[in-house]
Amino acid sequence: MAWSTRELAELAGTTVNTIRHFERVGLMAEPERKYNGYKQYGVQELVCLLRILRLSGLGVPLAKIAVVSAGGQSARPLLQEQSAELAARIGQMRQARDDIAAILLHDAPPDSPTGFVSVASRLSESDISLLHIANQLYDEEAMTDLRRMTELEENGGEVGKEIDTLPADADEVTRHRLAARLAPTLVQHLVDYPWLANPAKHLSKSERVTRLTFAEALPALYNPAQLDVLARAGQLAQEQMQDDDRMSDAVERSA
């Protein structure tokens, strides 16, 4: 019995275009044509097609199907490689499903940064954008710490909201006030996570790339007044840390 291309596709559960593609890339040989010019496929072509579809269903790339189909010693490492790739993809799909469940649970933006779904709804667009960038620059441990900082900043929430809406031409008094209110939170972060003062060991990219990326990102995401407040708060936090260290030294000397 002979089948037309369409009949063969229906029998194998695939499409005419798929069969034609397999022929173009050399996985299937083109069969003889009938007197009217139409192709006619036999059992050998059907079996060949079914074998190709089977290997394709296992995820074997078309470029490697011929080698795997031939069997022998060369097929085993290719299948092992494919098994490892499938395991990685399964892990990614499971993580994606968990992330989607968390996004739905917290009614968070769909593009919330990895690991920050539970707090994303109360972050500014600039903060979310910066966290996306940070995910590419810091290691997993550092990002976990950053998430904890964000989760624990309930008391600083009002300050954060004011900074988020701070106009670029904010006056000196407002800038100083916000910096002074933000500084204690930064001090607590420096105490809880000392690596913030020297993050080199937690970088996933080079120090140069990290520095240049933040140098480009910060002015693009925050206006001059916001950057000024952050810089002032950082300076106040460093001064307070130094004062605390001097006080501790004085107490130890007097003891």
Distance CA 102, CA 193 (A): 26
**Does residue 98 lie within any of the structural domains?**
no
**What pLDDT is recorded for position 252?**
63
For residues 88-112, one letter each, b for 16 or more C-beta atoms within 10 angstroms of the residue's C-beta and e for the rest, the string is eeeeeeeeeeebeeebeeeebeeeb
Note down pLDDT in tens along the chain; length 255 residues.
689 999 999 999 999 999 999 999 999 998 878 777 788 999 999 999 999 999 999 988 999 998 888 877 778 888 898 899 999 999 999 999 999 999 999 999 999 998 899 888 888 999 999 999 999 999 999 999 999 998 876 545 688 889 999 999 999 999 999 999 999 999 999 999 999 999 999 999 999 999 999 999 999 999 999 999 999 999 999 999 887 767 666 556 665
And the tokens for 71? 């069997």
DSSP at 112? P
Note whether 240 and 126 are same-domain residues.
yes
| Interacting residues of 128 by C-beta distance below 8 A, sequence separation 6+ | 109, 111, 112, 113, 116, 120
The answer on 225 and 139 residing in a single domain is yes
**51 and 133 in a common domain:** no
241 in any annotated domain: yes
| CB-based contacts of 251, cutoff 8 Å, min separation 6 | none
Helix (H, G, I), strand (E, B) or coil at 71: coil
Q: Which domain holds residue 19?
A: 5-69
Residue 65 and residue 121 share a domain: no
Do 158 and 42 share a structural domain?
Answer: no
Q: Where are the beta strands (DSSP E) in the chain?
A: none
Number of domains forming the structure of the chain: 2
Are 183 and 248 found together in one domain? yes
Could you tell me which residues come within 8 angstroms of residue 137 by beta carbon, excluding any fewer than 6 positions away? 203, 204, 205, 209, 210, 213, 214
The answer as to whether 108 is a domain residue is: no
Same domain as 227, residue 117? yes
In a domain, residue 147? The reply is: yes
Among 42, 43, 40, 66, which Cα is nearest to 55's? 66
Q: What is the pTM of this model?
A: 0.70
In a domain, 86, yes or no: no
Same structural domain for residues 127 and 240? yes
- Residue at 75 is within a domain: no
Q: Are 137 and 210 in contact (CB under 8 A)?
A: yes
